Amino acid sequence: MTHDEEVLGKAYDARLMRRLLTYLDPYRGRVALAASAIVGHSILELAPPYLTKVVIDTYIPSGDLSGLGFIAAIFLVTLSGSFALEYLQTWTLQILGQRIMFDMRMQVIGHLQRLDLRFYDRNPVGRLMTRVTTDVDVLNELFTSGVVSVFGDLFTLLGIMGVLIWMDWRLALVAFSVLPLIALITQWFRSNVRESYRTVRTWIARINAYLQERITGMTTVHLFRREARDYAIFDEIDRQHRDANVRSIFFYAVFYPAIELVSAIAVALILWVGGGWVIGNSLTLGSLVAFVMYAQRFFRPIMDMSEKFNVLQGAMASSERIFALLDTPVEIWGRRSFLEDSRDRALSTRDCPPKMTSDPIFDGPGAIAFEHVTFGYVPGEPVLRDVSFRVEPGQRVGVVGATGAGKTTIVSLLLRFYDVQGGRITIDGVDIREMDLATLRSLFGLVLQDVHLFSGTIAGNIRLGHEAISDESVRRAAAAVHAGVFIDRLPQGLATPVAERGATLSVGQKQLLSFARALAFDPRVLILDEATSSVDTETELLIRDALKVVMDGRTTIAIAHRLSTIQGMDRILVMHKGQLRESGTHQELLAVRGIYHRLYQLQFQSVATEKPATSTA
């Protein structure tokens, strides 16, 4: 959790607000409905004090009981109307809020599904999750905590002012004379509270980050006897948090009584000045009472509005972060992408599910060529330099080299997780940047060393979202890579749910599952980023055998950490410091006595005679 997450900008930013308002566009009807409900409700709320005036001035002096009954009836009507309008307003606004949150979440997730891997390199998953969940929720508070109803409060204020002027403009001026005082107090409160709110948020974020880290690493804390020192650090953060809060209490403690005092001053002024006029018969007693009642109602919306200020500020900060994400351009773009439709779909349709079955399939021999490819993750630090090679259909190619030699990068470029910066990559002579992204990727089956499992069943993890892959194919694929044995032992076989990211499966079992996945997709080209995790020798042999099955009859590009895996390959590419330094079969490369030979010696001969093959390249 980084602290820049907590930096809050301006409380009101016209540019952000305008953009937020565009989300209302599809719902103009609802907005209009809500707005009229707000206005109507505000007007009806004005009735009771005026009715009181009429009662005091007209019906009580004349003792007209039926007139009193008539006023009561009007009162009841306004109450009922007020009830209906307020319900309408809340319902419409909150549903509107929900629709907008829905749209926004779909938009964010849709954009995340298209953003480049480069973006993911820079942004930890935790931060992105905050965008999808918390930040959108904060925006929702605009609707639920009634910030929008602040507009209703505003109408009420204006309405009260209008009625006062209409009833007696002189007394209205007297009542309004305290308004500058209100403005001053509110301004003082807002600027201070904003600052202290920001500080409190920063400290709470630190408390959370610290707790999260220490709880997950508690064993390490114990082993290294850090308890006392960690406690001291935590105590300090906790203390700062408390002090920031206590400071903010001060502002609230001053603000509420101050507003009430001003309210009392207004009532006193009305009584004093207006009382004189009542004595002089230039004002009725009823009007005076109504004035006092209106004055009491006048200050509640003001207090409310100040309360909602923090929410507004938080919402601005959140929307700024969300928009920053949505504005991040997607650089890697297929010529025509199936995701372009899905973006629109995400926004509007609820009834047409994405077309999973009509996945474009690559049809061609699938000859891969790297032509003078240059690439770096950071400008000025090339990871691949002028790399050229060809992989013919059906060929098996191994890529070896030390860590950081650029092996994994080759795979990432081939799948267009990143785009080359120099040279080009072609398939059957076509630059992959000219191809449709999905078609390109349909060519490959990727097996990563870190197996990612999704929640769902074992079968679901093999076929993923491709419903076209039948249960039978799933079963066959699992059996072919020896995964069938352990799957059959599970309580529900293929239908067994996968617990939290495969926590109940061993590393080796997860590997086998990922092989089954690759096999079920039956790709033209198998790409293998070989696992380095240490598994026991039994599983090791099982995995090795499964590999043979998966590679059978396919073009294979294997990034190998175990030289033993790739010795039987048609060709071995030796990467060294970003360059392709050697290429040939195992025997040829050994004969050259170059880098490969050295790697080979390191792995097999450096320690006496028996260096096992479970090491990392």
Partner 1 sequence: MLKYRRAFAIGFLCVIVTAAVGLAGPWVLKYAIDDLGQGVDTARISVYAGAIVALAAVGGLFRFVMRRVIVGASRDIEYDLRNDFFAHLQRLDPAYFQRHRTGDLMSRATNDLSAVRMMIGPAVMYSATTGLFFIVGIVLMVSLNPRLTLFALVPLPFVSVSVGYFGAVIHRRFERIQEQLSEISAITQETLSGVRVVRAYRQEPFEIERFRLANEEYVRRNRGLIRVLGMYQPSMGFLMGIGALLVLWLGSREVVAGRMTVGELVAFNSYLMMLSWPMIAFGWVTNLLQRGMASWKRMLEIFDTPPAITDADATDEIGDEAHIRGRIELRHLTFAYGDTIVLDDISAVLPAGTTTAIVGATGSGKSTLLHLLARLHDPPPGTVFIDGVDIRHIPLSVLRGAIGMVPQEPFLFGATIAENVAFGARGDRDTRARVEEAAAIARLDKDAPGFAKGYDTVIGERGITLSGGQKQRTAIARALMIDPRVLVLDDAMSAVDTYTEEEILSRLSAVMRQRTTIIVSHRISTVRSADQILVLADGRIVERGTHDQLVARGGAYAELHEKQLLEEELAAS
For 248-274, give one letter per residue: b (16+ CB within 10 A) or e.
beebeeebeebbeebbeebbebbeebb
Indicate the DSSP class of residue 352: -
- What number of other Cβ atoms are within 10 A of residue 510's Cβ? 21
Q: Which residues, 547 to 606, sit near partner 1 by CB under 8 A?
A: 563-564, 567, 602-604, 606
DSSP string for 233-284 = HHHHHHHHHHHHHHHHHHHHHHHHHHHHHHHHHHHHHIIIIIHHHHHTTSS-
Q: Nearer to partner 1 by C-beta: 355 or 593?
A: 355
Minimal distance in Å, beta carbon 454 to partner 1? 6
Q: Nearer to partner 1 by C-beta: 11 or 145?
A: 145
Partners of 444 in the beta sheet?
Answer: 525
Q: Nearer to partner 1 by C-beta: 194 or 214?
A: 214
Which one of residues 195, 230, 428, 570 is an interface residue with partner 1 (CB under 8 A)? Answer: 230
Q: Nearer to partner 1 by C-beta: 162 or 257?
A: 257
Q: Which residues, 496 to 535, sit near partner 1 by CB under 8 A?
A: 501, 506-508, 517, 521, 532-535
Q: Nearer to partner 1 by C-beta: 11 or 258?
A: 258
The CA distances from residue 296 to 150, 198, 208, 256, 286, in Å, are: 18, 32, 42, 14, 15
Q: Which residues, 301 to 330, sit near partner 1 by CB under 8 A?
A: none
Which one of residues 9, 10, 120, 577 is an interface residue with partner 1 (CB under 8 A)? Answer: 120
Q: What count of residues does the chain have?
A: 617
For residues 393 and 366, the answer to whether their CB atoms sit within 8 Å is yes
| Cα angle 586-590-593, degrees, rounded to a multiple of 5 | 150
Site map 189..208 versus partner 1, x via CB under 8 A: ---------------x--xx
Q: Nearer to partner 1 by C-beta: 315 or 566?
A: 566
For residues 459 and 473, the answer to whether their CB atoms sit within 8 Å is no
For residues 210 and 202, the answer to whether their CB atoms sit within 8 Å is no
Phi/psi of residue 194, nearest 5 degrees: -60, -45
Minimal distance in Å, beta carbon 372 to partner 1? 25
Question: Exposed, middle or buried by CB within 10 Å (0-12, 13-18, 19+), for 435?
Answer: buried
Minimal distance in Å, beta carbon 616 to partner 1? 5
The CA distances from residue 182 to 186, 189, 298, 408, 513, in Å, are: 6, 10, 11, 65, 68
Q: Nearer to partner 1 by C-beta: 16 or 418?
A: 418
Q: Nearer to partner 1 by C-beta: 13 or 198?
A: 198
Q: Nearer to partner 1 by C-beta: 124 or 162?
A: 124
Indicate the DSSP class of residue 6: G
Q: Nearer to partner 1 by C-beta: 208 or 388?
A: 208
Size of site (CB under 8 A) for partner 1: 166
Partners of 384 in the beta sheet?
Answer: 375
Window of 224-232, 365-373, 384-392, 548-556 that interacts with partner 1 by CB under 8 A: 224-232
Minimal distance in Å, beta carbon 105 to partner 1? 5
Which one of residues 158, 173, 249, 591 is an interface residue with partner 1 (CB under 8 A)? Answer: 249
Q: Which residues, 122 to 181, sit near partner 1 by CB under 8 A?
A: 124-126, 128-129, 132-133, 137
Q: Which residues, 369 to 428, sit near partner 1 by CB under 8 A?
A: 402-403, 415, 417
Minimal distance in Å, beta carbon 182 to partner 1? 14
Indicate the helix (H) or strand (E) that contains 372.
strand 368-375
Closest CA to 510 of 564, 550, 450, 557: 450
For residues 152 and 89, the answer to whether their CB atoms sit within 8 Å is yes
Q: Nearer to partner 1 by C-beta: 492 or 616?
A: 616
Minimal distance in Å, beta carbon 23 to partner 1? 15
Q: Which residues, 436 to 495, sit near partner 1 by CB under 8 A?
A: 438, 441-442, 444-446, 448, 452, 454-455, 464-466
Inter-axis angle of helices 227-269 and 285-307, nearest 10: 160
SS3 558: strand
Minimal distance in Å, beta carbon 260 to partner 1? 6
Q: Nearer to partner 1 by C-beta: 16 or 90?
A: 90
Q: Which residues, 55 to 94, sit near partner 1 by CB under 8 A?
A: 55-56, 59-60, 63, 65, 68-69, 71-72, 75-76, 79-80, 82-84, 86-87, 90-91, 94
The CA distances from residue 346 to 328, 352, 493, in Å, are: 18, 10, 35
Q: Which residues, 260 to 279, sit near partner 1 by CB under 8 A?
A: 260-261, 263-265, 267-269, 271-272, 275-276, 278-279
353 binds partner 1 (CB under 8 A): yes
SS3 417: coil
Q: Nearer to partner 1 by C-beta: 166 or 250?
A: 250
Which one of residues 21, 356, 430, 485 is an interface residue with partner 1 (CB under 8 A)? Answer: 356
Q: What does R_g of the chain's alpha carbons equal in angstroms?
A: 35
Which one of residues 165, 285, 479, 490 is an interface residue with partner 1 (CB under 8 A)? Answer: 285
Q: Which residues, 17 to 46, sit near partner 1 by CB under 8 A?
A: none
Minimal distance in Å, beta carbon 83 to partner 1? 4
Q: How far apart are CA 158 and CA 150, in angstroms?
A: 12
